[in-house]
Structure 1
Amino acid sequence: MSGDLTDVLDERRDDERRRAVRALLRSPLLTPRDRDYALVRRHAGYLGQWFPRETGWSLYTDPGVARLRKVPGDLSDGSRAASVRGGGARARLPFSRRRYVLTCLALAALERAESQITLGRLVDRVLMFAADEQITAAGIVFTMENRDERGDLVAVAQLLLSLGVLAKIAGDEQAFVNSTGDALYDVDRRVLAVLLATRIGPSLVETGDHDMRLSAVTRDLVPDTEDGRNRQVRHSIARRLLDDPVLYYTDLTPEQRAYLDMQRGPLLKRLTEATGFLAEVRAEGIALVDPTHEATDFGMPDEGTEGHATLLLAEYLSERLRDAAGATTVADAERRMTELITEHSGHWRKNTRDPGAERPLTAHALWRLEALGLVRLEGQVVTPLPALARFGYADPTIIGKRDDQ
């Protein structure tokens, strides 16, 4: 009886650990208001060893926050931007360059703020920092005098609210946009302090080249030994398997491909046992599939106009993939979207029948498909990738005939 009870307790513990890993993969920053925060805190010791060992990501926990300092396996992937709901639209709108700059300025202002701040006061401090000559020399100017700029700051506030940096006390952001009111927030300094997940402070990097700066602030310090290099390669592969929808062999360096060819079995075994994911190994690459959907922060939509349009465009591109038609253009995708609007106008939003509506619908669909590793966008060229084939419908195969046919 004691042995059976021990087995049950061990299985329960392992299941909780897998849930905690999935929770951190989905949301690398958790606070007590999040459902899985207590679970992560309970298994912080295990998680604090597993993540550094398997991925090179460190985990920080305290009574007010849990922060997994994730570093992307592919620094060139710009498809998964910060995003918030925009302007009453159902789609999430990716942040623009201006919004990212505003986010950094807002965080700098909050670092020097009191425990509470209004949106209007935050604007005043952001404008003060935005007057820096290096920012203006880069062509970025903020006045907050027009509705669009005020809307950008509200989007930043919504992002910080979702992360837990801010907690609303009173007021309304839309009233601020309309110049009819303001909003009051608590500032959570625990979350603010752990938000930055770089290896070194960006201000310590002297180069002005974007790619070099990004590489410098995320570079892991490893011993210049064979073991150190192997560990770095293993971490880079594990990060892409856990963080990216699909790992294509063609995207790997020769060193990474050689390591994966030799260590694929043990590596996938460790990752799947710790996460509960299922490994799909194909000729073109590997995908770790989450059957629970608990670690999936960004999936294929299936509701609303944008969701339906994205699925239908994915089907069109998958047909090109199966027919070996290869790459196409954004203009061709927009032409197909125009046909889809005509075909489904009866149950899509009315504004999709407006002139030019196919362009934003197509742009949103391609953005999502690229983020999911299903297409590659290079300028105006759209290349369907192998994983997109799962969204196609193959011709039926008749394996038998009824007597009455």
Structure 2
Amino acid sequence: MTGALSDVLDEQRDAERRRAVRALLRTPLLTPRDAEYALVRKHAGHLAQWFAREAGWSLRADPGVARLRKVPGDLGDGSRAASVKDGGARARQPFSRRRYVLACLALAALERAEAQVTLGWLVDRVVAFAADEEITRAGIAFTMEDRDERGDLVAVAQLLLSLGALVKVAGDEQAFVNRSGDALYDVDRRVLAVLLSTRRGPSLVAAGDHGARLAAVTEDLVPDTEDGRNRAIRHAITRRLLDDPVLYYADLTAEQRTYLDIQRGPLLKRLTEATGFMAEVRAEGIALIDPTREATDFGMPEEGTEGHATLLLAEYLSERLRARQEIVPVAAAERRMAEFIGEHRAHWRKNVGDPGAERTLTAHALLRLAALRLVRWHGDEVTPLPALARFGYLEATIIGSKDPS
């Protein structure tokens, strides 16, 4: 009986650790308001060792906040931007460059803030910081007199609320946009202190283009030994397997591909056992599938008009992939979306019949498909990727039928 009880307790412990890993992969910053925070704190020692060994990511778990410092496997991937729901929008809207700048200015203001702030207070500080010569030279200006700019600040506040850096006390953001009210927040300094996830402070990086600066602030110091180089390769591959929906062999360097060919079995075994994911290995690459959806930030298929439209467009692009059409014009996708609207508008929301609705739905669908690594979207062109084939359908082939005569 003692052995059986020990086995049950071990399985319960391992299941809790897998849940904690999935929670951190989906939400790398957790506070006591998050259901999984207690699990992460309980198993913090094991989790810190596992993430450091397998992915080279550090975990800080303190009273009040748990922060997994993830470094993307692909620094050039911009398909999964920060996003919030704007006003009455049904789909989450990705952050623009201006919103990212505004978010940085707001965080700089909050570093100097009292325990509580209002949106009106943030406006004054952001406008003052935005007068910096480097920001104006980049062609970015904020006056906060425009309704859209005030809406952008509200979007930033919503993002900080979701992260736990701000905690709402009273007021209404929409009233602030309409100039009929304000909103009051508590500032959580523990969250603010761990938001930045870099190896080096951005102010310590010499001038350069965006890619060079991003690489510099996230650079890992690797010993110039065979073990150090292999560890760096393992970390790079693991980060993409854990953080990206699909790892394509074509995106790997020759060294990474050689390492993965040799170590694929043991590597996938360690990752699947620790996460509860299932490994799907295909000729073009590998995907770790989360059957629980607990680590999934972008799901597919999803309910609603956007979800159905995205699935239909994925099927259309999958047909183009099977037809070996490497590039699909966005205009062609929009025309197909217009046909989908005609076929399904009775079941979709009413405004899909508005002029230009096909462009909006197509853009949303392509953003979702790009984030899932099912397509690449460059300007007016879309490239269907191999994993998109799982959303295609072939004509049924009936076998074993009997002659009716």
| TM-score with structure 2 setting the length | 0.98
In structure 1, the partner of 2:306 is 306
Q: CA RMSD in A?
A: 1.1
Residue by residue over 1:81-130, the C-alpha shift from the partner in whole angstroms, topping out at 9 and shown as x without a partner, is: 00000131111100000000000000000000001011100111111111
Aligned equivalents of 2:122, 2:355: Cα separation in 1: 39
In 1, Cα distance between the equivalents of 2:378 and 2:295? Answer: 28
Q: Could you give the per-residue CA deviations for residues 249-300 of structure 1, whole angstroms, max 9, x where no partner exists?
A: 0011111101101111111111111111110110000000011111111112
Q: Deviation of residue 69 (structure 1)?
A: 0.2
User: Which residue of the partner structure matches residue 75 of structure 1?
Assistant: 75
- Matched position secondary structure for 2:78: coil
State the distance in 1 between where 2:236 and 2:325 align.
33
For 1:367, the equivalent position in structure 2 comes to 367
Give me the whole-angstrom Cα distance separating, in 1, the residues matched to 2:214 and 2:361.
31
Where do 1:2-401 residues align within 5 Å?
Answer: 2-401=2-401
Distance between the aligned counterparts of 1:14 and 1:138, measured in 2?
A: 50
Deviation at 1:402, TM superposition (A): 5.7
- The residue type paired with residue 46 of structure 1 is H
Find the aligned partners of 2:98 and 2:185 in 1 and give their Cα distance. Answer: 23
| Matched residues, number | 405
Separation of aligned partners in 1, 2:300 and 2:2: 46
| 1:155-212 deviations in Å (ceiling 9; x for gaps) | 0000000000000000000000000000000000000000000111111111231000
SS state at 1:3 partner: helix
| One-letter identity of the residue aligned with 2:230 | N
Deviation at 1:38, TM superposition (A): 0.2
Which deviates further from its counterpart, 330-339 or 41-50?
A: 330-339
Flag as ranges the 4+ runs of structure 1 deviating above 3 A.
402-405
Partner of 1:365, secondary structure, is helix
Query: CA offset at residue 340 of structure 1?
Result: 1.1
CA distance in 1, matches of 2:207, 2:136: 19
Percent identity between the aligned chains? 79
Query: Tell me, which stretches of 5 or more residues in structure 2 are unaligned?
Result: none
* Per-residue deviation, 1:401: 2.5
Pick which of 6-15 and 175-184 moved more: 6-15
- For 1:175 and 1:295, the matched residues in 2 are separated by 35
The farther-off stretch of 137-146 and 372-381 is 372-381
Secondary structure at 1:224 match in 2: coil
Q: Cα deviation per residue 1:133-154 (whole Å; 9 max; x = unaligned)? A: 1111110000000100000000
Say which is worse superposed, 313-322 or 231-240, in terms of deviation: 313-322
Report Cα offsets for 1:221-254 as digits up to 9, x if no partner: 1111111111001000000000000000001111
C-alpha distance in structure 2 between counterparts of 1:357 and 1:293, whole Å: 30
**Distance in 1, Cα, partners of 2:260 & 2:31:** 36
